[in-house]
Amino acid sequence: MHQTFTVKAEAREKVGKGAARHLRRNNQIPAVIYGGKEEPLPIALPYKETFLALHAGGFMTSIATIEVGGKQIKVLPKDYQLEPVRDFLMHVDFLRVSEDTRVTVEVPVHFENEEKSPGLKRGGTLNVVRHEVEVEAPAGEIPEFFAIDLTGLEINDSIHASALTLPKGVELTITDRDFTIATIATPAALRSEDDEAAEDEVTETKVIEQTDDNVEGETKANEE
């Protein structure tokens, strides 16, 4: 299931670009906690701990405990911004959660047993349509990832949403269709061979049709 992490923060009184730049120069990250029928709470997070949590994997599906002002607040990361050039963490938004909170999150999809797929062994390509699947889940029961077994899959086989094993209380947000998650695509070499075979078949058909016409014409000439 989902991961958790704990981080200590400081409440911040000043907000705005100038205050945010000051925090970043001091190895802190500006952040805000929203939701829970309470006023937004601006906080400052330690850069190193937050950056490591972000890159540990599963950050957006991890329940965090933020210690601030003598209180422990359960939150779920909702958004973050990176500086585009240096990949520097600039800001984080959190949502207050409780045991009764249901949240909408995107859960990563992991593919297993690629070596047991005959289609991939023959040179097929795993074409991933969705790297993540959006679900609604209890805040404390968010799946860390969905595992899809590729065992036995052949070229042109597809994996659909119905192949997912959903934990109790977890629901797909898309319910009106069995959407595709991935396919085993035909390798380029086989596609070329199929195209050539199709072209040969068309050529042979044209020759046969021409011969039939000639035979029919010769028959009529003889009859006349």
Each residue's pLDDT expressed in tens, for the chain with a length of 224 residues? 456 789 999 999 878 888 888 899 999 999 999 998 899 999 999 999 999 999 888 889 889 999 998 999 999 999 999 988 888 999 999 999 987 899 999 999 999 999 999 999 999 999 999 999 999 999 888 998 999 999 999 999 999 999 999 999 999 999 999 999 999 999 876 655 555 555 555 544 444 444 444 444 444 444 44
Q: Where are the domains of the chain?
A: 4-97, 103-186
pLDDT, residue 160, reads 97
Q: Which CATH code is given to the segment(s) 4-97?
A: 2.40.240.10
C-alpha distances in Å from residue 52, one per residue of 17, 32, 60, 89, 102: 24, 19, 13, 11, 26
pLDDT of residue 189: 60
**Strand 132-138 to 88-96 pairing:** unpaired
Question: In terms of CATH architecture, what is 103-186?
Answer: Beta Complex (2.170)
Q: How far is CA 187 from CA 66, 112, 122, 154, 197, in A?
A: 49, 20, 8, 12, 16
Are residues 185 and 150 in contact, defined by beta-carbon separation less than 8 angstroms? Answer: no
pLDDT at 72: 94
Q: Which residues lie closer than 8 Å to 29 by C-beta, 6 or more apart?
A: 23, 44, 45, 46, 47, 50, 89, 90, 91, 92
From the number of C-beta atoms within 10 Å of its C-beta (0-12, 13-18, 19+), residue 19 rates as middle
Statement: the pTM of the whole predicted model exceeds 0.85 = no
Count of other CB atoms within 10 angstroms of residue 17: 8
Nearest to 173 by CA among 132, 214, 217: 132
